[in-house]
Structure 1
Amino acid sequence: MNASPRRKELTRLAAQLFVQEGFDKTTVRMLAQEMGIKSGSLFHHFKDKQEILAAVIEEGTHNALRIARRALESSPADPEARLRTMARAHLETLFTDRNAHVVALFEWRRLDDEAKAHLSHLRDAYEALWVDVIDAALEAGLIHGDRFLVSRFVLGALNWTVRWYDPAGPRTPDDLADELVAMIIPMKR
């Protein structure tokens, strides 16, 4: 991935346009106009629209990994705290880099096979962080169920917040993380 500041800015603008218009409806001309460059100049930075989509998803996934790893490094070792930490980190990622994540969630299927193969290792690395945290919570008896289903339900619930959560509303991301953990950990008797 070319990490030049200009390419990062173009990737950010593309993510915004993909969210507004959808990948299929976004044209190269629209991208260039949004970026304030000529259509031909766009190809100085990217091979084609597919590469722009891949760059948006790659940038967002790198950010998610960085935020989650940093959060886990400073998290207490107990499984409940780590579960809350990962939920909070996931929400931070969604709310600080919203457009890239909405694109990753809803436009992944638009990637060509080569881009999917290239990006799958990043997605898998992120999901592996969740699997480790969920496994520890399962082993500690904090949560119950099938690891695959628990992880899908948790990530699905967290990902859907991009549709309904209002950052200016009364609840903070910490409140959301606390509420999620309270819902999946049975009440202590």
Structure 2
Amino acid sequence: MNASPRRKELTRLAAQLFVQAGFDRTTVRMLAQEMGIKSGSLFHHFRDKQEILAAVIEEGTENALVIARKALARCDSSASARLHAMARAHLETLLTDRNAHVVALYEWRRLDPEARAHLSHLRDAYEALWEQVIDEALAEGLVHGDRFLVSRFVMGALNWTVRWYDPDGPRTPDELADELVAMITRSASVG
């Protein structure tokens, strides 16, 4: 996809509008108005509204992958450190790219089959990082249970923070990630 700075800016504005109004209720006219351009000019950058949605999700998922891979590269190789690094990276994604992440979570089903097929590899790559880290935690006995359920539980808990977490509140993202990991690893030591 075209990665021009203007297109990236338009994608960021579209993500904000999709979060506020929802993909279905967001019109091309609303997008153009938010972007400060004429409706027809929007199609200079995007083929249609569906391509805008795909661009939002693609950019957000690519950013999540970059953040997660960097976090894993910086930490030591213990399963505990890697689990903490992934939790912190996920929260960082939510804080630095909240709108794109929310759109990816709640509007994925609105993608047409072609866009979904194109973007599935990114989503799958991100989930594979989590599954690898969860496998390592399971192998070391840090967590117990079925990998699929554990990874869905952890990612679900982290994803839900977009609804309630206040970055200006009493907990930093690192503290929040640490507490989540402590909860799931404590339950393993109790079980």
Q: TM-score range by the shorter chain?
A: over 0.9
Match for residue 58 of structure 1? Answer: 58
Structure 1 residue 186: deviation in Å?
A: 2.5
Match for residue 112 of structure 1? Answer: 112
Deviations along 1:19-66, one digit per CA (max 9) or x if unpaired, are 000000000000000000000000000000000000000000000000
Match for residue 186 of structure 2? Answer: 186
Structure 1 residue 150: deviation in Å?
A: 0.2
> Aligned equivalents of 1:5 and 1:111: distance in 2?
24
> Aligned equivalents of 1:99 and 1:140: distance in 2?
35
SS of the aligned residue for 1:3 comes to coil
Please list, as runs of the form range in 1=range in 2, the aligned pairs for 1:113-152 lying within 5 A after superposition: 113-152=113-152
> Aligned equivalents of 2:106 and 2:155: distance in 1?
14
Are positions 1:91 and 2:91 aligned together? yes
Question: Residue type of the partner of 2:35?
Answer: M
Are positions 1:72 and 2:72 aligned together? yes
> Please, what is the CA RMSD of the aligned residues?
0.9
> Aligned equivalents of 2:173 and 2:167: distance in 1?
8
Match for residue 103 of structure 1? Answer: 103
> Aligned equivalents of 2:137 and 2:171: distance in 1?
25
Question: Residue type of the partner of 1:39?
Answer: S
SS of the aligned residue for 1:154 comes to helix
SS of the aligned residue for 1:186 comes to helix
Q: Structure 1: 5+ residue runs without aligned partners? A: none
Worse-superposed segment, 178-187 or 63-72:
178-187
> Aligned equivalents of 2:157 and 2:142: distance in 1?
19
Are positions 1:43 and 2:43 aligned together? yes
Aligned structure 1 segments of 4 or more residues deviating by more than 2 angstroms: 186-189
Structure 1 residue 113: deviation in Å?
A: 0.3
Question: Residue type of the partner of 2:58?
Answer: E
> Aligned equivalents of 2:182 and 2:51: distance in 1?
40
Question: Residue type of the partner of 2:32?
Answer: A
Match for residue 173 of structure 2? Answer: 173
> Aligned equivalents of 2:83 and 2:67: distance in 1?
14
Question: Residue type of the partner of 2:120?
Answer: S
> Identity over the aligned pairs, expressed in percent?
82
> Aligned equivalents of 1:167 and 1:136: distance in 2?
30
Structure 1 residue 17: deviation in Å?
A: 0.3
Structure 1 residue 146: deviation in Å?
A: 0.1
Deviations along 1:108-146, one digit per CA (max 9) or x if unpaired, are 000000000000000000000000100000001111000
Match for residue 8 of structure 1? Answer: 8
